[in-house]
Amino acid sequence: MVAAARAIAELGPDVVLVTGGHLEGDDSPDCMFAGGEVRWLESPRIRTRDTHGGGCVLSAALCAELAQGMEPVDACVAAKRFVERAIAAGVTMGSGTGPVDPGWERASGA
């Protein structure tokens, strides 16, 4: 993940986020590379099969934070926290992978 983040940063972006949601284990770390330094965004893995759309929700949350003027590093952290809650609020549908719920704030009254 670090090597991938560094390689992408060499192409020009100031901040790179490489997600670890598909890794095995009890944690779901994301690797953020900014200012030449690696920072790990750690979180426990949420045990659910309802993860469809998680990457799309992460990118949309990141774009929303940036559009509101948040600094890119802080926006990555905020977007990760948002998608964690969307995964936790996922919707079980049938027997397959269900979607995350990006409307968790509305449903929880947060």
pLDDT per position as a tens digit, 45-85? 999 999 999 999 999 999 999 999 999 999 999 999 999 99
Question: CA 36 to CA 53: how far, in whole Å?
Answer: 30
If you write DSSP's letter for every residue of 27-54 in order, what string do you get? B--EEEEETTEEEEE--BPP--S--BTH
The model's confidence at residue 105, banded by pLDDT at 50, 70 and 90, is confident
Question: CA 83 to CA 27: how far, in whole Å?
Answer: 15
**Whose CA is closest to 48, among 94, 106, 102, 98?**
98
Average pLDDT, integer, range 94-110:
85
Predicted TM-score (pTM) of the model is 0.90
Q: Are 4 and 32 in contact (CB under 8 A)?
A: no
The model's confidence at residue 109, banded by pLDDT at 50, 70 and 90, is low
pLDDT of residue 71: 97
pLDDT of residue 15: 97
- Where do runs of H (alpha helix) occur along the chain? 2-9, 54-67, 72-88, 104-108
Residue at 36: amino acid letter: G
